[in-house]
Structure 1
Protein backbone atom coordinates (compact mmCIF):
# COMPACT_ATOMS: atom_id res chain seq x y z
CA UNK A 1 0.00 0.00 0.00
CA UNK A 2 1.20 3.51 -0.83
CA UNK A 3 1.75 5.21 2.50
CA UNK A 4 1.58 8.64 0.90
CA UNK A 5 -2.19 8.15 0.71
CA UNK A 6 -2.43 6.71 4.24
CA UNK A 7 -4.19 9.05 6.68
CA UNK A 8 -4.48 7.94 10.30
CA UNK A 9 -7.46 9.04 12.38
CA UNK A 10 -9.18 7.95 15.57
CA UNK A 11 -12.04 5.52 15.10
CA UNK A 12 -15.46 7.15 14.86
CA UNK A 13 -16.82 6.09 18.24
CA UNK A 14 -13.74 7.23 20.18
CA UNK A 15 -15.05 10.76 21.01
CA UNK A 16 -18.20 9.18 22.49
CA UNK A 17 -16.09 6.72 24.50
CA UNK A 18 -14.04 9.63 25.82
CA UNK A 19 -17.18 11.49 26.84
CA UNK A 20 -18.57 8.47 28.73
CA UNK A 21 -15.33 7.84 30.63
CA UNK A 22 -14.08 11.38 31.15
CA UNK A 23 -17.34 12.68 32.63
CA UNK A 24 -17.09 10.62 35.86
CA UNK A 25 -13.28 10.93 35.83
CA UNK A 26 -13.56 14.72 35.66
CA UNK A 27 -16.16 14.95 38.43
CA UNK A 28 -14.42 12.54 40.79
CA UNK A 29 -10.93 13.80 39.97
CA UNK A 30 -11.79 17.46 40.54
CA UNK A 31 -13.55 16.62 43.81
CA UNK A 32 -10.60 14.61 45.13
CA UNK A 33 -7.83 16.91 43.96
CA UNK A 34 -9.54 20.17 44.98
CA UNK A 35 -10.29 18.61 48.37
CA UNK A 36 -6.64 17.61 48.67
CA UNK A 37 -5.49 21.11 47.75
CA UNK A 38 -7.88 22.58 50.32
CA UNK A 39 -6.54 20.29 53.06
CA UNK A 40 -2.88 20.81 52.19
CA UNK A 41 -3.13 24.58 51.73
CA UNK A 42 -5.69 25.52 54.39
CA UNK A 43 -5.80 22.86 57.11
CA UNK A 44 -2.20 21.92 57.81
CA UNK A 45 -0.02 24.09 60.01
CA UNK A 46 3.41 22.82 59.02
CA UNK A 47 4.89 22.72 55.54
CA UNK A 48 6.97 19.64 54.76
CA UNK A 49 8.68 18.32 51.64
CA UNK A 50 5.87 15.85 51.06
CA UNK A 51 3.23 18.54 51.45
CA UNK A 52 4.96 20.77 48.86
CA UNK A 53 5.14 17.94 46.34
CA UNK A 54 1.54 16.90 47.00
CA UNK A 55 0.28 20.42 46.32
CA UNK A 56 2.12 20.44 42.99
CA UNK A 57 0.86 16.96 42.10
CA UNK A 58 -2.73 17.92 42.88
CA UNK A 59 -2.37 21.15 40.89
CA UNK A 60 -0.96 19.29 37.87
CA UNK A 61 -3.73 16.68 38.04
CA UNK A 62 -6.42 19.38 38.34
CA UNK A 63 -5.08 21.31 35.36
CA UNK A 64 -4.90 18.12 33.32
CA UNK A 65 -8.50 17.29 34.25
CA UNK A 66 -9.66 20.71 33.07
CA UNK A 67 -8.17 20.06 29.61
CA UNK A 68 -10.13 16.81 29.16
CA UNK A 69 -13.48 18.45 28.18
CA UNK A 70 -11.69 20.57 25.56
CA UNK A 71 -9.81 17.51 24.30
CA UNK A 72 -13.08 15.61 23.92
CA UNK A 73 -14.89 18.54 22.26
CA UNK A 74 -11.99 19.08 19.87
CA UNK A 75 -12.38 15.51 18.62
CA UNK A 76 -16.18 15.73 18.45
CA UNK A 77 -15.91 18.84 16.30
CA UNK A 78 -12.71 17.70 14.56
CA UNK A 79 -10.71 20.77 15.53
CA UNK A 80 -8.05 21.49 12.93
CA UNK A 81 -4.38 21.89 13.77
CA UNK A 82 -3.78 25.56 14.51
CA UNK A 83 -2.88 28.04 17.21
CA UNK A 84 -5.57 27.05 19.71
CA UNK A 85 -4.96 23.38 19.05
CA UNK A 86 -1.27 23.75 19.87
CA UNK A 87 -2.09 25.67 23.06
CA UNK A 88 -4.56 22.97 24.11
CA UNK A 89 -2.13 20.15 23.31
CA UNK A 90 0.66 21.99 25.12
CA UNK A 91 -1.38 22.43 28.30
CA UNK A 92 -2.46 18.80 28.20
CA UNK A 93 1.07 17.41 27.81
CA UNK A 94 2.68 19.86 30.26
CA UNK A 95 0.42 18.73 33.08
CA UNK A 96 0.74 15.03 32.25
CA UNK A 97 4.55 15.25 32.22
CA UNK A 98 4.49 17.31 35.42
CA UNK A 99 2.35 14.68 37.12
CA UNK A 100 4.82 11.96 36.08
CA UNK A 101 7.78 14.09 37.19
CA UNK A 102 6.31 14.87 40.63
CA UNK A 103 5.45 11.22 41.30
CA UNK A 104 9.04 10.36 40.40
CA UNK A 105 10.44 13.09 42.67
CA UNK A 106 8.23 11.88 45.55
CA UNK A 107 9.69 8.38 45.11
CA UNK A 108 13.25 9.76 45.01
CA UNK A 109 12.59 11.94 48.08
CA UNK A 110 11.17 8.95 49.94
CA UNK A 111 14.20 6.86 48.96
CA UNK A 112 16.60 9.55 50.17
CA UNK A 113 14.79 9.93 53.49
CA UNK A 114 14.70 6.21 54.24
CA UNK A 115 18.00 5.05 52.78
CA UNK A 116 20.15 8.00 53.88
CA UNK A 117 18.34 9.64 56.83
CA UNK A 118 21.37 11.65 58.05
CA UNK A 119 22.23 13.08 54.62
CA UNK A 120 18.54 13.70 54.00
CA UNK A 121 18.40 16.22 56.84
CA UNK A 122 20.84 18.43 54.96
CA UNK A 123 19.47 17.80 51.48
CA UNK A 124 15.74 17.98 52.18
CA UNK A 125 13.64 20.96 53.24
CA UNK A 126 10.26 22.45 52.25
CA UNK A 127 12.01 25.39 50.60
CA UNK A 128 14.22 23.08 48.51
CA UNK A 129 11.16 21.06 47.57
CA UNK A 130 9.45 24.27 46.42
CA UNK A 131 12.47 25.23 44.32
CA UNK A 132 12.62 21.70 42.86
CA UNK A 133 8.94 21.90 41.93
CA UNK A 134 9.38 25.34 40.36
CA UNK A 135 12.37 24.03 38.42
CA UNK A 136 10.33 21.09 37.09
CA UNK A 137 7.45 23.35 36.01
CA UNK A 138 9.88 25.67 34.22
CA UNK A 139 11.79 22.89 32.45
CA UNK A 140 8.66 21.00 31.37
CA UNK A 141 6.91 24.13 30.07
CA UNK A 142 10.02 25.11 28.10
CA UNK A 143 10.56 21.58 26.72
CA UNK A 144 6.93 21.10 25.65
CA UNK A 145 6.90 24.57 24.05
CA UNK A 146 10.08 23.69 22.14
CA UNK A 147 8.65 20.33 21.06
CA UNK A 148 5.52 22.03 19.75
CA UNK A 149 7.70 24.34 17.68
CA UNK A 150 9.91 21.53 16.35
CA UNK A 151 7.12 19.07 15.57
CA UNK A 152 6.27 18.75 11.89
CA UNK A 153 2.48 19.10 11.96
CA UNK A 154 2.00 20.16 8.33
CA UNK A 155 0.58 16.76 7.36
CA UNK A 156 -1.59 16.45 10.47
CA UNK A 157 -5.17 17.55 9.95
CA UNK A 158 -6.79 17.20 13.39
CA UNK A 159 -5.89 18.23 16.91
CA UNK A 160 -4.53 15.46 19.17
CA UNK A 161 -4.03 13.29 16.10
CA UNK A 162 -0.87 12.23 14.27
CA UNK A 163 -2.34 11.74 10.83
CA UNK A 164 0.93 11.32 8.95
CA UNK A 165 3.03 8.17 8.98
CA UNK A 166 6.35 10.03 9.12
CA UNK A 167 8.33 8.87 12.19
CA UNK A 168 8.76 11.68 14.72
CA UNK A 169 12.17 11.65 16.40
CA UNK A 170 11.09 14.60 18.56
CA UNK A 171 8.16 12.59 19.92
CA UNK A 172 10.43 9.60 20.51
CA UNK A 173 12.78 11.76 22.59
CA UNK A 174 9.83 13.11 24.60
CA UNK A 175 8.56 9.58 25.27
CA UNK A 176 11.95 8.36 26.48
CA UNK A 177 12.80 11.45 28.52
CA UNK A 178 9.29 12.11 29.76
CA UNK A 179 8.34 8.59 30.78
CA UNK A 180 10.89 5.78 30.48
CA UNK A 181 13.68 7.56 32.36
CA UNK A 182 11.27 8.56 35.19
CA UNK A 183 9.98 4.95 35.17
CA UNK A 184 13.50 3.61 35.75
CA UNK A 185 14.09 6.11 38.58
CA UNK A 186 10.72 5.39 40.18
CA UNK A 187 11.17 1.62 39.93
CA UNK A 188 14.69 1.69 41.39
CA UNK A 189 13.73 3.99 44.27
CA UNK A 190 10.59 2.01 45.08
CA UNK A 191 12.41 -1.34 45.09
CA UNK A 192 15.16 0.08 47.30
CA UNK A 193 12.62 1.58 49.72
CA UNK A 194 10.69 -1.69 49.93
CA UNK A 195 13.92 -3.63 50.59
CA UNK A 196 14.97 -1.15 53.29
CA UNK A 197 11.55 -1.25 54.95
CA UNK A 198 11.54 -5.04 55.02
CA UNK A 199 14.99 -5.00 56.57
CA UNK A 200 13.76 -2.63 59.28
CA UNK A 201 10.71 -4.82 59.83
CA UNK A 202 13.01 -7.70 60.75
CA UNK A 203 14.87 -5.43 63.17
CA UNK A 204 11.79 -3.82 64.76
CA UNK A 205 9.02 -6.33 65.43
CA UNK A 206 6.91 -3.77 67.31
CA UNK A 207 6.69 -1.64 64.15
CA UNK A 208 5.83 -4.55 61.89
CA UNK A 209 2.27 -3.44 61.14
CA UNK A 210 3.30 0.13 60.33
CA UNK A 211 6.14 -0.99 58.07
CA UNK A 212 3.90 -3.51 56.29
CA UNK A 213 1.46 -0.71 55.53
CA UNK A 214 4.28 1.47 54.18
CA UNK A 215 5.44 -1.36 51.90
CA UNK A 216 1.91 -1.73 50.56
CA UNK A 217 1.70 2.02 49.89
CA UNK A 218 4.99 2.11 47.96
CA UNK A 219 4.04 -1.01 46.00
CA UNK A 220 0.61 0.41 45.16
CA UNK A 221 2.12 3.71 43.99
CA UNK A 222 4.48 1.87 41.63
CA UNK A 223 1.78 -0.49 40.36
CA UNK A 224 -0.68 2.33 39.59
CA UNK A 225 2.01 4.29 37.76
CA UNK A 226 2.96 1.29 35.60
CA UNK A 227 -0.61 0.19 34.87
CA UNK A 228 -1.75 3.68 33.92
CA UNK A 229 1.16 4.92 31.86
CA UNK A 230 3.15 1.98 30.50
CA UNK A 231 0.55 0.86 27.88
CA UNK A 232 0.34 4.41 26.47
CA UNK A 233 4.08 4.94 26.12
CA UNK A 234 4.67 1.45 24.78
CA UNK A 235 1.97 2.33 22.23
CA UNK A 236 3.88 5.51 21.31
CA UNK A 237 7.08 3.47 20.86
CA UNK A 238 5.26 0.91 18.73
CA UNK A 239 3.75 3.69 16.62
CA UNK A 240 7.24 5.12 16.03
CA UNK A 241 8.52 1.68 14.98
CA UNK A 242 5.53 1.12 12.69
CA UNK A 243 5.92 4.55 11.11
CA UNK A 244 9.61 3.80 10.51
CA UNK A 245 9.36 0.26 9.17
CA UNK A 246 5.82 -0.76 8.22
CA UNK A 247 4.08 -0.28 4.88
CA UNK A 248 0.77 -1.59 6.22
CA UNK A 249 -1.61 1.34 6.73
CA UNK A 250 -4.26 -0.75 8.49
CA UNK A 251 -1.67 -2.05 11.00
CA UNK A 252 -0.59 1.52 11.80
CA UNK A 253 -4.26 2.44 12.22
CA UNK A 254 -4.72 -0.37 14.76
CA UNK A 255 -1.70 0.82 16.73
CA UNK A 256 -3.12 4.35 16.64
CA UNK A 257 -6.44 3.06 18.02
CA UNK A 258 -4.55 1.33 20.83
CA UNK A 259 -2.70 4.58 21.68
CA UNK A 260 -6.02 6.44 21.93
CA UNK A 261 -7.50 3.80 24.25
CA UNK A 262 -4.34 3.75 26.36
CA UNK A 263 -4.49 7.55 26.68
CA UNK A 264 -7.92 7.22 28.29
CA UNK A 265 -6.47 4.80 30.85
CA UNK A 266 -3.53 7.14 31.49
CA UNK A 267 -5.84 10.08 32.18
CA UNK A 268 -7.73 8.15 34.86
CA UNK A 269 -4.47 8.37 36.83
CA UNK A 270 -5.61 11.81 38.01
CA UNK A 271 -8.15 10.07 40.25
CA UNK A 272 -5.86 7.21 41.24
CA UNK A 273 -3.15 9.65 42.33
CA UNK A 274 -5.59 11.01 44.88
CA UNK A 275 -6.42 7.55 46.19
CA UNK A 276 -2.81 6.35 46.36
CA UNK A 277 -1.14 9.50 47.64
CA UNK A 278 -3.72 11.47 49.58
CA UNK A 279 -5.85 8.89 51.36
CA UNK A 280 -2.89 7.08 52.88
CA UNK A 281 -0.63 10.06 53.50
CA UNK A 282 0.22 10.73 57.12
CA UNK A 283 -0.31 14.46 56.63
CA UNK A 284 -4.05 13.95 56.48
CA UNK A 285 -3.87 12.48 59.97
CA UNK A 286 -2.50 15.82 61.12
CA UNK A 287 -5.46 17.51 59.46
CA UNK A 288 -8.10 15.19 60.92
CA UNK A 289 -8.49 16.84 64.34
CA UNK A 290 -8.85 20.26 62.70
CA UNK A 291 -11.40 18.91 60.28
CA UNK A 292 -13.31 17.29 63.11
CA UNK A 293 -13.33 20.59 64.99
CA UNK A 294 -14.64 22.39 61.92
CA UNK A 295 -17.38 19.80 61.57
CA UNK A 296 -18.50 20.27 65.15
CA UNK A 297 -18.92 23.96 64.38
CA UNK A 298 -21.16 23.06 61.48
CA UNK A 299 -18.99 24.33 58.64
CA UNK A 300 -19.75 22.96 55.21
CA UNK A 301 -16.11 22.36 54.32
CA UNK A 302 -15.70 19.76 57.02
CA UNK A 303 -18.20 17.50 55.28
CA UNK A 304 -15.44 16.47 52.87
CA UNK A 305 -14.91 12.74 53.31
CA UNK A 306 -11.32 12.65 52.10
CA UNK A 307 -9.46 12.69 55.44
CA UNK A 308 -11.81 10.20 57.14
CA UNK A 309 -10.06 7.36 55.34
CA UNK A 310 -7.00 7.83 57.54
CA UNK A 311 -8.79 7.65 60.87
Structure 2
Protein backbone atom coordinates (compact mmCIF):
# COMPACT_ATOMS: atom_id res chain seq x y z
CA UNK A 1 0.00 0.00 0.00
CA UNK A 2 1.46 3.32 -0.99
CA UNK A 3 -0.48 6.06 0.68
CA UNK A 4 0.60 9.63 1.20
CA UNK A 5 -1.51 9.99 4.31
CA UNK A 6 -3.60 8.06 6.79
CA UNK A 7 -6.65 8.93 8.78
CA UNK A 8 -5.02 8.59 12.18
CA UNK A 9 -7.40 9.91 14.82
CA UNK A 10 -5.94 10.16 18.28
CA UNK A 11 -7.12 7.64 20.86
CA UNK A 12 -10.64 8.78 21.86
CA UNK A 13 -9.93 9.00 25.60
CA UNK A 14 -6.49 10.56 25.17
CA UNK A 15 -7.52 14.21 25.73
CA UNK A 16 -9.20 13.16 28.98
CA UNK A 17 -6.13 11.13 30.00
CA UNK A 18 -3.98 14.18 29.34
CA UNK A 19 -6.26 16.36 31.44
CA UNK A 20 -6.27 13.92 34.38
CA UNK A 21 -2.49 13.44 34.33
CA UNK A 22 -1.30 16.89 33.35
CA UNK A 23 -3.38 18.77 35.94
CA UNK A 24 -1.50 17.35 38.98
CA UNK A 25 1.76 17.23 37.00
CA UNK A 26 1.42 20.91 36.12
CA UNK A 27 0.51 22.04 39.65
CA UNK A 28 3.10 19.89 41.43
CA UNK A 29 5.78 20.49 38.79
CA UNK A 30 5.42 24.28 38.86
CA UNK A 31 5.43 24.28 42.67
CA UNK A 32 8.57 22.13 42.95
CA UNK A 33 10.51 23.82 40.18
CA UNK A 34 9.65 27.36 41.29
CA UNK A 35 10.62 26.39 44.85
CA UNK A 36 13.90 24.98 43.55
CA UNK A 37 14.59 28.14 41.52
CA UNK A 38 13.89 30.28 44.58
CA UNK A 39 16.27 28.25 46.73
CA UNK A 40 19.05 28.04 44.16
CA UNK A 41 18.84 31.70 43.09
CA UNK A 42 17.96 33.44 46.36
CA UNK A 43 18.92 31.29 49.33
CA UNK A 44 22.41 30.07 48.54
CA UNK A 45 25.62 32.02 48.55
CA UNK A 46 28.32 30.32 46.49
CA UNK A 47 27.55 29.27 42.94
CA UNK A 48 28.66 25.76 41.95
CA UNK A 49 28.56 23.80 38.71
CA UNK A 50 25.64 21.75 40.05
CA UNK A 51 23.74 24.88 41.00
CA UNK A 52 24.14 26.38 37.50
CA UNK A 53 22.92 23.19 35.81
CA UNK A 54 20.01 22.79 38.23
CA UNK A 55 18.80 26.34 37.57
CA UNK A 56 18.83 25.66 33.81
CA UNK A 57 17.06 22.33 34.29
CA UNK A 58 14.37 23.97 36.44
CA UNK A 59 13.85 26.71 33.83
CA UNK A 60 13.52 24.14 31.02
CA UNK A 61 11.09 22.03 33.06
CA UNK A 62 8.99 25.09 33.97
CA UNK A 63 8.78 26.24 30.37
CA UNK A 64 7.76 22.75 29.25
CA UNK A 65 5.13 22.61 32.00
CA UNK A 66 3.61 25.86 30.74
CA UNK A 67 3.12 24.32 27.29
CA UNK A 68 1.14 21.35 28.67
CA UNK A 69 -2.21 23.19 29.10
CA UNK A 70 -2.01 24.40 25.50
CA UNK A 71 -1.05 20.93 24.32
CA UNK A 72 -4.07 19.47 26.12
CA UNK A 73 -6.40 22.13 24.71
CA UNK A 74 -5.05 21.52 21.22
CA UNK A 75 -6.37 17.94 21.40
CA UNK A 76 -9.71 18.93 22.91
CA UNK A 77 -10.33 21.60 20.27
CA UNK A 78 -8.39 19.87 17.46
CA UNK A 79 -6.06 22.80 16.81
CA UNK A 80 -5.12 22.97 13.15
CA UNK A 81 -1.56 23.20 11.87
CA UNK A 82 -0.56 26.83 11.54
CA UNK A 83 1.83 29.47 12.85
CA UNK A 84 0.52 29.22 16.44
CA UNK A 85 0.78 25.42 16.30
CA UNK A 86 4.38 25.50 15.07
CA UNK A 87 5.38 27.92 17.84
CA UNK A 88 3.69 25.72 20.44
CA UNK A 89 5.32 22.56 19.10
CA UNK A 90 8.70 24.27 18.89
CA UNK A 91 8.56 25.47 22.49
CA UNK A 92 7.43 22.07 23.70
CA UNK A 93 10.24 20.16 21.96
CA UNK A 94 12.93 22.76 22.72
CA UNK A 95 12.36 22.45 26.44
CA UNK A 96 12.14 18.66 26.36
CA UNK A 97 15.45 18.44 24.47
CA UNK A 98 16.99 20.99 26.84
CA UNK A 99 15.90 18.91 29.83
CA UNK A 100 17.45 15.81 28.27
CA UNK A 101 20.60 17.76 27.39
CA UNK A 102 21.09 19.20 30.89
CA UNK A 103 20.54 15.82 32.55
CA UNK A 104 23.18 14.36 30.22
CA UNK A 105 25.62 17.18 30.94
CA UNK A 106 25.11 16.69 34.69
CA UNK A 107 25.95 12.98 34.27
CA UNK A 108 29.10 13.85 32.31
CA UNK A 109 30.10 16.50 34.88
CA UNK A 110 29.58 13.97 37.66
CA UNK A 111 31.70 11.42 35.78
CA UNK A 112 34.50 13.96 35.36
CA UNK A 113 34.45 14.89 39.05
CA UNK A 114 34.54 11.27 40.27
CA UNK A 115 36.74 9.55 37.69
CA UNK A 116 39.16 12.38 36.88
CA UNK A 117 39.25 14.71 39.91
CA UNK A 118 42.55 16.34 38.92
CA UNK A 119 41.35 17.20 35.41
CA UNK A 120 38.03 18.29 36.90
CA UNK A 121 39.72 21.11 38.80
CA UNK A 122 40.83 22.66 35.52
CA UNK A 123 37.76 21.79 33.43
CA UNK A 124 34.96 22.48 35.91
CA UNK A 125 33.84 25.88 37.14
CA UNK A 126 30.49 27.70 37.57
CA UNK A 127 31.41 30.04 34.69
CA UNK A 128 32.17 27.12 32.37
CA UNK A 129 28.91 25.48 33.42
CA UNK A 130 27.07 28.69 32.52
CA UNK A 131 28.77 28.82 29.12
CA UNK A 132 27.93 25.12 28.51
CA UNK A 133 24.29 25.72 29.42
CA UNK A 134 24.06 28.83 27.23
CA UNK A 135 25.65 26.97 24.32
CA UNK A 136 23.15 24.12 24.74
CA UNK A 137 20.19 26.52 24.76
CA UNK A 138 21.48 28.26 21.62
CA UNK A 139 22.11 25.05 19.68
CA UNK A 140 18.76 23.46 20.58
CA UNK A 141 16.75 26.60 19.77
CA UNK A 142 18.53 27.08 16.43
CA UNK A 143 18.25 23.42 15.43
CA UNK A 144 14.57 23.18 16.40
CA UNK A 145 13.79 26.39 14.51
CA UNK A 146 15.52 24.94 11.44
CA UNK A 147 13.63 21.65 11.80
CA UNK A 148 10.30 23.48 11.97
CA UNK A 149 11.19 25.37 8.78
CA UNK A 150 12.28 22.25 6.90
CA UNK A 151 9.45 19.99 8.07
CA UNK A 152 6.80 19.17 5.50
CA UNK A 153 3.54 19.58 7.41
CA UNK A 154 1.40 20.07 4.32
CA UNK A 155 -0.44 16.75 4.79
CA UNK A 156 -0.83 17.12 8.58
CA UNK A 157 -4.13 18.58 9.69
CA UNK A 158 -3.84 18.68 13.49
CA UNK A 159 -1.24 20.10 15.84
CA UNK A 160 1.01 17.52 17.54
CA UNK A 161 -0.21 14.95 15.03
CA UNK A 162 1.62 13.34 12.10
CA UNK A 163 -0.95 12.05 9.62
CA UNK A 164 1.48 11.70 6.72
CA UNK A 165 3.10 8.27 6.40
CA UNK A 166 6.04 9.71 4.50
CA UNK A 167 9.15 8.87 6.57
CA UNK A 168 10.89 11.96 7.92
CA UNK A 169 14.69 11.75 7.90
CA UNK A 170 14.79 14.98 9.89
CA UNK A 171 12.74 13.34 12.62
CA UNK A 172 15.02 10.29 12.64
CA UNK A 173 18.11 12.50 13.05
CA UNK A 174 16.40 14.41 15.87
CA UNK A 175 15.55 11.12 17.63
CA UNK A 176 19.12 9.82 17.39
CA UNK A 177 20.94 13.06 18.26
CA UNK A 178 18.34 14.33 20.73
CA UNK A 179 17.87 11.14 22.74
CA UNK A 180 19.79 8.00 21.85
CA UNK A 181 23.24 9.64 21.87
CA UNK A 182 22.50 11.37 25.21
CA UNK A 183 21.18 8.03 26.51
CA UNK A 184 24.49 6.32 25.66
CA UNK A 185 26.50 9.14 27.26
CA UNK A 186 24.39 9.18 30.41
CA UNK A 187 24.40 5.38 30.75
CA UNK A 188 28.17 5.13 30.28
CA UNK A 189 28.92 7.95 32.71
CA UNK A 190 26.49 6.65 35.33
CA UNK A 191 27.77 3.07 35.18
CA UNK A 192 31.37 4.28 35.43
CA UNK A 193 30.54 6.51 38.40
CA UNK A 194 28.70 3.70 40.20
CA UNK A 195 31.63 1.33 39.63
CA UNK A 196 34.08 3.93 40.96
CA UNK A 197 31.92 4.62 44.01
CA UNK A 198 31.64 0.90 44.80
CA UNK A 199 35.42 0.64 44.54
CA UNK A 200 35.84 3.57 46.92
CA UNK A 201 33.35 2.04 49.35
CA UNK A 202 35.55 -1.05 49.62
CA UNK A 203 38.61 1.13 50.23
CA UNK A 204 37.03 3.60 52.65
CA UNK A 205 34.72 1.75 55.02
CA UNK A 206 34.21 4.85 57.19
CA UNK A 207 32.52 6.57 54.22
CA UNK A 208 30.26 3.65 53.39
CA UNK A 209 27.03 5.48 54.29
CA UNK A 210 27.70 8.53 52.12
CA UNK A 211 28.99 6.41 49.23
CA UNK A 212 25.95 4.14 49.36
CA UNK A 213 23.71 7.19 49.26
CA UNK A 214 25.64 8.54 46.27
CA UNK A 215 25.18 5.22 44.44
CA UNK A 216 21.43 5.37 45.08
CA UNK A 217 21.28 8.92 43.71
CA UNK A 218 23.15 8.10 40.49
CA UNK A 219 21.10 4.92 39.99
CA UNK A 220 17.81 6.73 40.57
CA UNK A 221 18.73 9.52 38.15
CA UNK A 222 19.58 7.01 35.41
CA UNK A 223 16.48 4.88 36.07
CA UNK A 224 14.10 7.86 35.95
CA UNK A 225 15.65 9.09 32.71
CA UNK A 226 15.31 5.68 31.03
CA UNK A 227 11.80 4.93 32.30
CA UNK A 228 10.44 8.35 31.33
CA UNK A 229 12.00 8.84 27.92
CA UNK A 230 12.94 5.46 26.41
CA UNK A 231 9.35 4.27 25.64
CA UNK A 232 8.56 7.53 23.86
CA UNK A 233 11.62 7.54 21.61
CA UNK A 234 11.32 3.83 20.87
CA UNK A 235 7.77 4.63 19.78
CA UNK A 236 9.01 7.45 17.52
CA UNK A 237 11.63 5.10 16.05
CA UNK A 238 9.02 2.40 15.43
CA UNK A 239 6.75 4.94 13.75
CA UNK A 240 9.60 5.96 11.42
CA UNK A 241 10.24 2.30 10.52
CA UNK A 242 6.55 1.66 9.83
CA UNK A 243 6.32 4.76 7.66
CA UNK A 244 9.40 3.59 5.74
CA UNK A 245 7.84 0.16 5.16
CA UNK A 246 4.52 1.69 4.06
CA UNK A 247 2.64 -0.26 6.72
CA UNK A 248 -1.14 -0.19 6.72
CA UNK A 249 -2.98 2.53 8.61
CA UNK A 250 -4.42 0.48 11.53
CA UNK A 251 -0.91 -0.60 12.57
CA UNK A 252 0.37 2.96 12.31
CA UNK A 253 -2.60 4.16 14.34
CA UNK A 254 -1.74 1.73 17.17
CA UNK A 255 1.86 2.96 17.22
CA UNK A 256 0.62 6.54 17.09
CA UNK A 257 -1.56 5.95 20.15
CA UNK A 258 1.39 4.39 21.98
CA UNK A 259 3.54 7.45 21.20
CA UNK A 260 0.87 9.77 22.60
CA UNK A 261 0.56 7.75 25.81
CA UNK A 262 4.33 7.50 26.15
CA UNK A 263 4.57 11.28 25.81
CA UNK A 264 2.38 11.62 28.90
CA UNK A 265 4.86 9.47 30.83
CA UNK A 266 7.79 11.48 29.48
CA UNK A 267 6.25 14.76 30.62
CA UNK A 268 5.94 13.55 34.20
CA UNK A 269 9.74 13.83 34.22
CA UNK A 270 9.28 17.53 34.99
CA UNK A 271 8.15 16.57 38.50
CA UNK A 272 10.57 13.68 38.93
CA UNK A 273 13.53 15.91 38.05
CA UNK A 274 12.74 18.05 41.07
CA UNK A 275 12.51 15.04 43.36
CA UNK A 276 15.60 13.26 42.02
CA UNK A 277 17.90 16.23 41.59
CA UNK A 278 16.85 18.97 43.98
CA UNK A 279 15.73 17.37 47.20
CA UNK A 280 18.65 14.93 47.34
CA UNK A 281 21.26 17.54 46.41
CA UNK A 282 23.72 18.92 48.92
CA UNK A 283 22.89 22.49 47.95
CA UNK A 284 19.20 22.03 48.76
CA UNK A 285 20.05 20.42 52.10
CA UNK A 286 22.23 23.39 52.95
CA UNK A 287 19.29 25.72 52.30
CA UNK A 288 16.67 23.65 54.08
CA UNK A 289 17.53 24.93 57.59
CA UNK A 290 16.85 28.46 56.32
CA UNK A 291 13.48 27.32 55.00
CA UNK A 292 12.31 25.19 57.89
CA UNK A 293 14.54 26.71 60.63
CA UNK A 294 14.49 23.38 62.39
CA UNK A 295 17.23 21.26 60.88
CA UNK A 296 20.53 20.63 62.52
CA UNK A 297 23.95 20.97 60.94
CA UNK A 298 24.66 18.93 57.81
CA UNK A 299 26.67 15.76 57.58
CA UNK A 300 30.44 15.62 57.93
CA UNK A 301 32.49 17.63 55.45
CA UNK A 302 33.99 14.60 53.72
CA UNK A 303 30.54 13.09 53.18
CA UNK A 304 29.26 16.43 51.88
CA UNK A 305 32.06 16.69 49.35
CA UNK A 306 31.43 13.17 48.09
CA UNK A 307 27.68 13.77 47.76
CA UNK A 308 28.30 17.09 45.99
CA UNK A 309 30.40 15.33 43.37
CA UNK A 310 27.59 12.92 42.55
CA UNK A 311 24.91 15.59 42.02
Aligned length: 295
The answer for the alignment partner of 1:101 in structure 2 is: 101
TM-score (norm 1): 0.93
The answer for the alignment partner of 1:242 in structure 2 is: 242
The answer for the alignment partner of 1:169 in structure 2 is: 169
The answer for the alignment partner of 1:227 in structure 2 is: 227
Q: Is there any run of 5+ residues in structure 1 with no aligned partner, and where? A: 296-311
The answer for the alignment partner of 2:87 in structure 1 is: 87
Q: Structure 1: how far apart are the matches of 2:70 and 2:294?
A: 37
Q: Which segment drifts farther, 8-17 or 108-117?
A: 8-17
TM-score (norm 2): 0.93
The answer for the alignment partner of 1:159 in structure 2 is: 159
The answer for the alignment partner of 2:305 in structure 1 is: none
Q: CA deviation at 1:279?
A: 1.0
Q: CA deviation at 1:294?
A: 10
Q: 1:245–1:2: structure 2 CA closer, same or farther, 3 Å change rule?
A: closer
Q: 1:5–1:220: structure 2 CA closer, same or farther, 3 Å change rule?
A: closer
Q: 1:105-143: per-residue Cα shift (whole Å, max 9, x none)?
A: 000000000001011000000000000000000000000
Q: 1:123-169: per-residue Cα shift (whole Å, max 9, x none)?
A: 00000000000000000000000000111100000000001111010
Q: CA deviation at 1:12?
A: 2.0
The answer for the alignment partner of 1:35 in structure 2 is: 35
Q: Is there any run of 5+ residues in structure 2 with no aligned partner, and where? A: 296-311
Q: Structure 2: how far apart are the matches of 1:33 and 1:287?
A: 15
The answer for the alignment partner of 2:6 in structure 1 is: 6
Q: 1:176-212: per-residue Cα shift (whole Å, max 9, x none)?
A: 0000000000000000000000010011000001100
C-alpha contact 1:8 1:164 (8 A) present in aligned 2: no
Q: 1:71-104: per-residue Cα shift (whole Å, max 9, x none)?
A: 0001111111000000000000000000000000
Instruction: Spell out the pairing of 1:1-311 with structure 2 (5 A cutoff).
Output: 3-4=3-4, 6-293=6-293
Q: Structure 1: how far apart are the matches of 2:24 and 2:247?
A: 39
